[in-house]
Amino acid sequence: MSRVWASDGLWQITAWRRQPDIQKLNICLVENNEFLWLYRVEEAVLTVEVKPTTAALTNNSIGQVVLKRLMTAEQVIERLGTAEAKCHLQNIQLLAQ
């Protein structure tokens, strides 16, 4: 992630005196062969700037970014409820504890 927007505009580290609290979770949705990773963010964060990771997009001479407006927890739960779920576990022992 690059730039982050809060409710009052672009996140300014000097004004907030810290980085925004953004934590990647170990769960994602797959849509059109694209992984949509879920993140836990603090309430003030509204939008993040994401750089593409696919080779086709990063080989261009002009930089490209995508602005992603964050979904609410309710929107994520609704999306998960209507999606065809796939679960991939790397360590099943963690669930057994």
Mean of the pLDDT values across residues 39-61? 71
Q: 9's torsion region: left (phi>0), alpha (psi -120 to 50) or beta? A: left
Q: CA 54, CA 32: separation in Å to the nearest integer?
A: 14
- What pLDDT is stored for residue 50 in this prediction? 75
Q: How many domains does the chain have?
A: 1
Q: Which domain holds residue 36?
A: 4-96
- Residue among 76, 32, 72 at smallest CA distance from 54: 32
- Percentage of the chain beyond pLDDT 70 is 66
Mean pLDDT of 24-33: 79
d(CA 68, CA 58): 18
What does the DSSP assignment read for 38-59? EEEE-TTEEEEEE---SHHHHT
Closest by CA to 64, choosing from 55, 74, 73, is 55
How many Å apart are CA 12 and CA 54, to the nearest integer? Answer: 29
Q: Is the pLDDT of residue 82 over 70?
A: yes
